[in-house]
Amino acid sequence: MSQAQEESVASNLVSHTEYDAVVVGAGFAGMYMLHRLREKGLSARVFETGEGVGGTWYWNRYPGARVDSPSMQYSLSFSSEMEQEWKWSEFYSPQADLEKYANHVADRFDLRRDIQFGTRVVGASFDDDTKRWLIETDRGDSVSAKYFITAAGCLSATNVPNFKGIESFEGQWYHTSRWPAEGVDLTGKRVGIIGTGSTGIQAIPVLAEQSEHLHVFQRTPNYSLPSNNTKMDPAFEQEWKQTYPQHRQAARESAVGVEIPAFSDRSALDATEEERQAAFEGAWGNYAALLATFNDITTNPEANEFVAEFVRNKIRQTVKNPEVAELLAPKGYPIGTKRICIDSGYFETYNRDNVTLVDVKTNPIEEITPTGLRTTADSYDLDVLVFATGFDAMTGPLFRMGIVGKDGLSLQDKWDAGPRTYLGISTVGFPNMFMITGPGSPSVLSNMTTSIEQHVDWIIDTITYLKKNGLENIEPMAEAEDQWVEHVNEVANLTLYPRANSWYLGANIPGKPRVFMPYVGGVGNYRKKCDEVVANNYEGFELTG
Ligand code: N01
């Protein structure tokens, strides 16, 4: 933090105790929410655990961290001036650029004076008498707010598996999303990494370059495509900036919040082998295009298997050792049902002499030892252990806030069998609480910045409506929530998604209910539904006061 930022934080320790709104999190969602609340003349306080803005891009500083949506689209659209002025240096931005951009947003809109950094919300309860939310932090703040708005991200609650012996490890260990800002010097170090999801796949090539030897402990291989990342092409940037409104509109109406190629109207089963190979080769490097090559890749296991095998063959062509290649080739779940990764030289990394792949599916990790790690087959001496083991996604960040609604009902108890929301933005029993990109909304299946802006705008329009009409409270009705939950499940079951043990289903966290959490019905359709609800006088909500 700069001196100016530190002074701003110091002068902003809570001096008020009553706000119109309290927002949790100062990533893109929390910052844009604050900006819009202020525009409407509402008082707001943002609490942020980190010492700076950026959310995901503040925390995830691991080597190789990079966004997998194109930079021109993974950005905020609400200010056309900012859109025109800001310059992205690469097609897919690295973490440092995104954190810089987040700081620019905070400075440009003078947001820091209403953000309290280094402060975790540890309790938020609805007071049945005053109809206000009481929010408590780990720094002893106790404030009240009419509206309680969560902007804590879907992937912010880290998951470090409960490995036996972890406390005995005499080296250093890090979770990728808590990587030290000053970096870690891995020169001459024997490094082990557990996890080969999007994070592991990005980190592994860089860790291999930096360390003496890298052991990769892989349980489930992932489908990954080369990102073909490049420096930003000035002509491409120019074209986008000249036509930004049209591009943004297309993203808002799209399936996933970024412009993607239209789905083919043909089944993969109707094509010849040559036609399929040509289509897959043409889409190689663009996972959305790959899934759109035929109209049944995401819904028909047979069609999906054609693409899956195409990707496996790419891995077999890249990795020189056939046994290692076979271990890296994903099998047993359809492509696209776990987040497809994009990488920079991931599979090529296994051709290096200083990289060893260890199959911990066949020989699971038994324990972490003082000197490394032991599987059922072997022991490994390590100086540094990296956990790329993901997150308690979507519900984890909300549960960790200790949210309690009407009649003392905690969110955790209410969602004991899985999240239940109306539109992924609200839940019965928790009046005037809004969840930005909550479970039951497109969120993690979409370009986050597109979905964040849609939710924030909807929340602001709703608060404005309530005020204009002299209304105090908004809460969904049980029937509307039941129907929405049913619909979210119904559309997920039309796809192949439920066939993988993914974090979308909570399958990565022992004991978490197996429920498909995000809404797969598409960003454009979802937006229409939210707008219809408003047009029909907040259909499905009870407005009182
Ligand atoms: O986490 P993950 P992530 N023993 O849960 C393994 C976004 N993201 O941080 O699959 C051994 O996907 C686990 O194995 P398995 C993106 O949405 C985006 O990588 O459970 N292994 C898996 O390999 C992404 O999907 C970007 O068998 C264990 C890994 O740890 C999401 O974040 C970049 C284990 C966890 O993979 C999460 O990705 C990075 C155990 N006990 C992330 N427990 C971009 O924008 C877990 N694992 C590019």
Which atom number of ligand 1 is nearest to the Cα of residue 389? 30
- Residue whose CA lies nearest to ligand 1 atom number 24: 198
Is 340 part of a structural domain of the chain?
no
Cβ 434 vs Cβ 541: under 8 Å? no
Q: What is the pLDDT of residues 175-195, one digit of tens each?
A: 999 999 999 999 999 999 999
Task: Please provide the DSSP assignment of 73-124 as one string.
Answer: TSS--S-HHHHHH---SBSS-BHHHHHHHHHHHHHHTT-GGGEE-S--EEEE
Counting residues of the chain whose pLDDT is more than 90, the rounded percentage is 95
Q: Tell me, what's the pLDDT at 16?
A: 57
Is 438 part of a structural domain of the chain?
yes
- Residue whose CA lies nearest to ligand 1 atom number 15: 220
Q: What is the pLDDT of residues 458-475, one digit of tens each?
A: 999 999 999 999 999 999
Ligand 1 pocket by Cβ (under 6 Å): 66-68, 155, 161, 194-200, 202, 219-220, 339, 360, 365, 388-391, 444, 503, 508
Instruction: Evaluate if residue 507 carries a pLDDT over 80.
Output: yes
Q: Tell me, what's the pLDDT at 305?
A: 98
- 320's CB contacts (< 8 A; 6+ apart) are 351
Instruction: Evaluate if residue 10 carries a pLDDT over 50.
Output: no
Sign (positive/negative) of CA torsion 89, 93, 98, 99? Answer: negative
Rounded CA separation 386/224 (Å): 20
- 405's CB contacts (< 8 A; 6+ apart) are 125, 126, 411, 414, 427, 429, 430, 431, 433
Mean pLDDT computed over 487-514: 97
Environment class of 430 (CB within 10 Å of its CB; exposed 0-12, middle 13-18, buried 19+): buried
Where residue 260 falls among pLDDT bands split at 50, 70, 90? confident
Q: Which two tokens stand for residue 196?
A: 């080969």
Cβ 34 vs Cβ 111: under 8 Å? yes
Is 307 part of a structural domain of the chain?
no
119 CA to middle of ligand 1, Å?
27
- 174's CB contacts (< 8 A; 6+ apart) are 62, 180, 184, 384, 385, 386, 387
Is 338 part of a structural domain of the chain?
no
Is 248 part of a structural domain of the chain?
no
- Poorest-pLDDT segment among 265-269, 287-291, 476-480: 287-291
Which atom number of ligand 1 is nearest to the Cα of residue 161? 41
Instruction: Evaluate if residue 1 carries a pLDDT over 90.
Output: no
Instruction: Evaluate if residue 13 carries a pLDDT over 60.
Output: no
Q: Tell me, what's the pLDDT at 351?
A: 98
CB atoms within 10 A of CB 85: 11
Mean pLDDT computed over 283-290: 92
Mean pLDDT computed over 479-507: 97
Mean pLDDT computed over 292-304: 96
Instruction: Evaluate if residue 308 carries a pLDDT over 90.
Output: yes
CATH of the domain at 114: 3.50.50.60
Is 209 part of a structural domain of the chain?
no
Q: Tell me, what's the pLDDT at 111?
A: 98
Where residue 6 falls among pLDDT bands split at 50, 70, 90? low
Phi-psi map region of 191: left, alpha, beta (phi>0 left; psi -120 to 50 alpha): beta
Is 478 part of a structural domain of the chain?
yes
User: Whole domain around residue 431: which residue ranges?
Assistant: 3-157+393-544
Angle between helices 448-468 and 523-535 in degrees, nearest 10: 0
Q: Tell me, what's the pLDDT at 8?
A: 47
Is 352 part of a structural domain of the chain?
no
315 CA to middle of ligand 1, Å?
19
How many domains, in total, are found in the chain? 1
Is the pTM higher than 0.85? The answer reads yes
Counting residues of the chain whose pLDDT is more than 70, the rounded percentage is 97
Instruction: Evaluate if residue 9 carries a pLDDT over 70.
Output: no
The chain-wide mean pLDDT, for the chain, equals: 96
